[in-house]
Amino acid sequence: MDIATVIGIVLGTGLVLVSILMNSGLGAFIDVASIAVVCGGTVAASLISFPLGQVMKVVTVVRKAFFTKPVDPVDSVVALVKLAEVARRDGILSLESQLAEGDYDPFMTQGLRMAIDGQDPSVIEAALEQEVETIADRHASGKALFDNMGKYAPAFGMIGTLIGLVVMLQNMSDAASLGPAMAVALLTTFYGSLIANLFALPIADKLALRSEQEISSKLLIIRGVMSIQAGDNPRVVQQKMLAFLDAKQRARVQALIES
C-alpha cells in the first residue's frame, strides 16, 4: 500500500473535519440533494465523456494509486548486469537456462528471449518500444478519467449552487430563511471543490507519477537488453543503464554488484 496516498487523504479529510467542527456542527455541512447533484453529475459527465467499460474500471484504477508498488530500477540494473556477465562468458544462448531458473521481470524476459532467438536488433527494440507506448496510452486513459472528474465536480458544484440561488430568490418574502437557504446553496460548491482537490486531481497526479516510474524502468530495461544483445562488456551494459538512475540509486547498484 502507498502510505503517502493514505496519509494525504486522511490528513486532508481530517483538516477539513476539524475546521468544520471548530466553527460549526457537522450536520450543517450535510445535504443529500447537494451530494446527489455533485456526485451524480460528475458520474453522468464521465459516462458521456468515456466508454462505459472505462468508467467501470474506476475502482481498478484507484487501486493502482493505493496498492501499486513502485518499480525499483536498481533491481533491474543489477539483474541485467549479472545476465550480461553470463552472456559474455558463456554466450547469449546460455541465458535461456538463467531465465528459466530465475524470477525475472516479464518485460525483461520477453526482450531477452527475443535476443536468444536471434531476432534482429531493430525488431526487438521496436517490439519492446511498442509495448511501452501501449502501456503509456493505457495509463493516460486512466489518468484522463480522474482529470475530467476533477474538472466536472466543481462545475456541478456551481450548477447546484445556481439551482439553490434560484430557489432562494423565489422565496425572498421570507427573510428568515435566506441565510439557511444560501448556506445549502453553497454546499454544492464545497462538495465539488472537495472531491476535485482532495481526491480526483491528486489521484490523477499519483497515477501520472506511477506511469512515469514504470515507463522509465522499462526504457532502462530496453537499453540493457539491447546492450546485451550487442555483446557489450558488462561494465558498458551497466553504464548505459546508470543514465536512468540518480546518485543514490547508482551507489546502491554498485554496492549490490560488488557484494
Cell readout for 222 is: 530496453
Q: Write the DSSP string, 190-234.
A: HHHHHHIIIIIHHHHHHHHHHHHHHHHHHHHHHHHHHHHHTT--H
More confident residue, 102 or 140: 140
Q: Residue 176 — pLDDT band, cuts 50, 70, 90?
A: low
Question: Smallest Cα–Cα separation from 39: which of 194, 145, 184?
Answer: 194
Structural domain includes residue 108:
yes
Tell me the percentage of the chain whose pLDDT exceeds 90.
50
Structural domain includes residue 173:
no
For 107-116, the pLDDT digits (tens) are: 999 999 999 9
pLDDT of residue 134: 93
Structural domain includes residue 199:
no
For 75-99, the pLDDT digits (tens) are: 999 999 999 999 988 888 989 988 8
pLDDT of residue 64: 78
Instruction: Provide the angle, in degrees to the nearest 10, between the axes of the packed helices 234-242 and 201-229.
Output: 160
Q: Do 2 and 116 reside in the same domain of the chain?
A: no
Residue type, 57: K
Average pLDDT over residues 224-232: 92
Find the distance separating the first CA and the last CA of the chain, reported in whole Å.
30
Structural domain includes residue 44:
no
CB 81 within 8 A of CB 93: no
Q: Is the pLDDT of residue 65 over 80?
A: no
**How many domains would you assign to the chain?**
2
* Distance, CA of 151 to CA of 147 (rounded, Å): 6
Would residue 24 be called left, alpha or beta, if left means φ above 0 and alpha means ψ between -120 and 50 degrees? beta
State the residue range of the domain holding 10. 1-30
Structural domain includes residue 25:
yes
Q: Residue 175 — pLDDT band, cuts 50, 70, 90?
A: low
More confident residue, 34 or 169: 34
* Distance, CA of 127 to CA of 132 (rounded, Å): 9
Structural domain includes residue 147:
no
Question: Smallest Cα–Cα separation from 29: which of 197, 188, 199?
Answer: 188
pLDDT of residue 177: 65
Average pLDDT over residues 108-130: 93
* Distance, CA of 124 to CA of 113 (rounded, Å): 10
SS (H, E, C) 68-114: CCCCCHHHHHHHHHHHHHHHHHHCHHHHHHHHHHCCCCHHHHHHHHH
pLDDT of residue 174: 67
Structural domain includes residue 184:
no
pLDDT of residue 156: 94
pLDDT of residue 33: 86
For 208-220, the pLDDT digits (tens) are: 988 898 999 999 9
For 129-159, the pLDDT digits (tens) are: 999 999 999 889 889 999 999 999 999 999 9
Sign of CA dihedral 108, 136, 39, 181: positive
3-state secondary structure of 141: helix
Structural domain includes residue 212:
no
pLDDT of residue 25: 79
Select, from the ranges 61-65, 86-90, 169-173, the one with the highest average predicted confidence (pLDDT). 86-90
Q: Do 2 and 115 reside in the same domain of the chain?
A: no
- Average pLDDT over all residues of the chain: 88
Q: Is the pLDDT of residue 164 over 90?
A: no
pTM of the model: 0.84
